């Protein structure tokens, strides 16, 4: 099922992101987590793609299993900046052969030393063009950044590039994590004003361990409100309390998004069925599912 059809239903719903294992030995535990998360009945699940493609076979296997074994629509992520054209074309073919209908087309982070002359693809839009050329009829989504992409000099320029992506055929965008919903609402206003009309799926990252905070911020460049800093200061040393507080914070963000006209939220579940379940339980009456 195409993601655009899933989110067009306009019912309150939640989806989850999972990431593939790095080794064969870890595959089973990830598969187990995926099965548990799928059993919660999310509207879809997305599977990340390791930069450079080293874990591509797992991305493919997991995305296929989500769809075939657990009957949940899936998205396979695909990056391009550190891959050759041959590798990317091969992956497009494999995704198509696996019957996966949805792809999140990303540039990927530029690895150190991967200078312009060593790259075939420079931006996610180049991957979109490759997918189009291949004739694969994927529903292609991309990434967007409410607080702008860290490399972009201004929010204005980032939105210009997002518009180019939408015009090139990206059908929806999933957002980078954010911890202050007002930044997301402001972003929505600015992109709609620029004529970007495709659906935007807000991405919410539940921070359930104190040591995730610094990493999440350094990766995303997201602003962390004082309210959240206070919570980590108070509960960061107590793992159970931090887990509960982090889930409550993420739930509160999701409920506020629902209350402000958003019907679909994507949760970065970090392969944690416990976190995914707790969030679904907290939203059970709103999304009409009992756990
Ligand atoms: P782009 O859209 O190419 O944008 C990157 C930068 O280039 C931005 O600053 C943009 O303003 C600028 N830009 C865009 N187009 C142009 C243009 N035509 N000319 C000039 N400048 C331009 N990484 C992974 O490795 N694997 C994953 O599975 C993965 N999943 C992700 C899922 C989501 C929802 C998000 C938000 C990010 C994900 N990432 C993943 C991280 C992502 O690969 C990085 O953030 C990367 O640095 C940018 O990717 P992009 O697709 O947004 O790039």
pLDDT of residue 213: 86
What's the gap in Å between 171 CA and the centre of ligand 1? Answer: 16
Helix (H) or strand (E) holding 23: none
Cα 43 to ligand 1 centre (Å): 24
Beta pairing class for 102-106 and 13-18: unpaired
**106 strand-pairing partners:** 79
Q: 156: how many CB neighbours lie within 10 A of its CB?
A: 11
Domain that holds residue 281: 3-206+243-287
Does 237 map to a domain?
no
Residue nearest to atom 38 of ligand 1 (CA): 143
Instruction: Kindly report which listed range (102-111, 209-218, 266-275) carries the lowest average pLDDT score.
Output: 209-218
* Rounded distance from Cα 231 to ligand 1 centre (Å): 30
| Residues within a 6 A CB radius of ligand 1 | 48-49, 51, 77, 79, 104, 106-109, 123-125, 142-143, 149, 151-152, 158, 161, 164, 174, 176, 203
Does residue 118 have a pLDDT over 90? Answer: no
CB 141 within 8 A of CB 173: yes
How confident is the model over 216-236, as a mean pLDDT?
92
Distance CA 19, CA 161 (A): 27
In a domain? residue 218: no
Give the catalytic positions in this structure. 17
Domain count, the chain: 1
Q: How confident is the model at residue 238 (pLDDT cuts 50, 70, 90)?
A: very high
pLDDT of residue 189: 98
Q: Which of 46-55, 65-74, 152-161 has the lowest mean pLDDT?
A: 46-55
Q: Would you say 185 and 257 are in contact if contact means Cβ atoms under 8 Å apart?
A: no
Express as a percent the part of the chain with pLDDT over 90. Answer: 89
User: Which of helix, strand or coil describes residue 170?
Assistant: coil
- Testing ligand 1's pocket by substitution, the residue of 20, 123, 130, 160 carrying the most ligand atoms inside 8 A of its CB is 123
Cα 108 to middle of ligand 1, angstroms: 6
Residue 59 Cα: closest atom of ligand 1 = 28
> How would residue 218 be classed by pLDDT, with cut points 50, 70 and 90?
confident
- The pLDDT value given to residue 275: 98
Query: Cα–Cα distance between 97 and 81 in angstroms, integer?
Result: 23
Confirm whether 65 is domain-assigned: yes
Per-residue model confidence (pLDDT) at position 228:
94
Q: Which atom of ligand 1 is nearest to the CA of 174?
A: 34
Alpha helices in the chain (DSSP H): 3-7, 24-38, 56-68, 85-97, 124-134, 155-168, 181-193, 210-220, 226-235, 239-259, 273-282, 284-287
CA distances 9 to 4, 6, 18, 175, 284, Å, are: 9, 6, 23, 20, 18
Mean pLDDT of 130-157: 98
Tens digits of residue pLDDT in 239-289: 999 999 999 999 999 999 999 999 999 999 999 999 999 999 999 999 998
Split at pLDDT 50, 70, 90, the class of 290 is: confident
Per the listing, tokens 């935007």 go with 200
- Which among 44, 54, 143 is the best mutation to test ligand 1's pocket, defined by most ligand atoms within 8 Å of the CB? 143
Mean pLDDT value across residues 32-45: 98
Lowest mean pLDDT of 48-52, 81-85, 147-151, name the range. 48-52
* Lowest model confidence (mean pLDDT) among 49-58, 187-196, 205-214: 49-58
Confidence at residue 144, expressed as pLDDT on a 0 to 100 scale = 98
Query: Given pLDDT bands bounded at 50, 70 and 90, which one contains residue 291?
Result: confident
Helix, strand or coil for residue 100? coil
Say if 16 falls within a structural domain. yes
The domain that holds 142 is classified in CATH as: 3.20.20.220
Q: In degrees, to the nearest 5, what angle opens at C-alpha 47 toward C-alphas 43 and 49?
A: 155
Sign of CA dihedral 64, 67, 70, 73: positive
Residue 181 reports pLDDT greater than 90: yes
Q: Is the pLDDT of residue 53 over 90?
A: no
- The answer to whether residue 217 sits within a structural domain is no
Q: Which of 34-48, 110-124, 187-201, 229-243 has the weakest average pLDDT?
A: 110-124
Residue nearest to atom 16 of ligand 1 (CA): 161
- Ligand 1, atom nearest to 149 Cα: 9
Lowest mean pLDDT among 135-139, 151-155, 174-178, 208-212: 208-212
Q: What is the pTM of this model?
A: 0.98
Residue 81 falls inside a structural domain: yes
Please give the number of the atom of ligand 1 that sits closest to the Cα of 122: 3
pLDDT at 116 over 90: no
Q: Are 151 and 81 contacting, i.e. CB atoms less than 8 angstroms apart?
A: no
Name residue 104's beta-bridge partners: 77, 141
Closest C-alpha among 96, 112, 40, 90 to residue 63: 96
CA dist 263 and 291 (Å) reads 20
Asked, for residue 225, whether it belongs to a domain, the answer is no
């Amino acid at each position: 099922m195409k993601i655009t059809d899933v989110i067009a239903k306009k019912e309150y719903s939640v989806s989850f992101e999972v990431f593939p294992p790095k080794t064969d030995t870890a595959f089973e535990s990830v598969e187990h987590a995926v099965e548990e998360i799928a059993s919660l009945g999310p509207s879809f699940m997305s599977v990340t793609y390791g930069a450079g493609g080293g874990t591509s076979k797992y991305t493919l296997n997991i995305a296929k299993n989500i769809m075939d074994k657990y009957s949940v629509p899936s998205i396979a992520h695909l990056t391009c900046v550190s891959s050759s054209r041959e590798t990317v074309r091969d992956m497009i073919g494999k995704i198509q052969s696996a019957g996966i209908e949805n792809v999140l087309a990303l540039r990927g982070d530029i690895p150190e030393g991967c200078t312009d002359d060593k790259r075939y693809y420079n931006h996610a839009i180049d991957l979109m063009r490759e997918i189009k050329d291949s004739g694969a009829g994927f529903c292609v989504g991309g990434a967007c950044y409410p607080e702008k992409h860290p490399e972009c000099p201004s929010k204005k320029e980032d939105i210009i590039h997002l518009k180019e992506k939408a015009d090139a055929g990206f059908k929806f965008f999933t957002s980078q994590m954010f911890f202050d919903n007002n930044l997301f609402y402001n972003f929505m206003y600015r992109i709609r004003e620029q004529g970007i009309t495709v659906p935007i799926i807000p991405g919410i990252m539940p921070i359930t361990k104190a040591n995730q905070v610094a990493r999440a911020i350094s990766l995303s460049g997201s602003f962390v409100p004082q309210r959240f800093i206070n919570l980590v200061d108070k509960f960061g040393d107590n793992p159970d309390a931090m887990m509960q507080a982090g889930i409550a914070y993420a739930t509160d963000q999701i409920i506020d998004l629902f209350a402000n006209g958003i019907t679909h939220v994507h949760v970065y579940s970090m392969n944690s069925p416990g976190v995914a379940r707790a969030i679904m339980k907290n939203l059970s009456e709103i999304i009409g599912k009992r756990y």
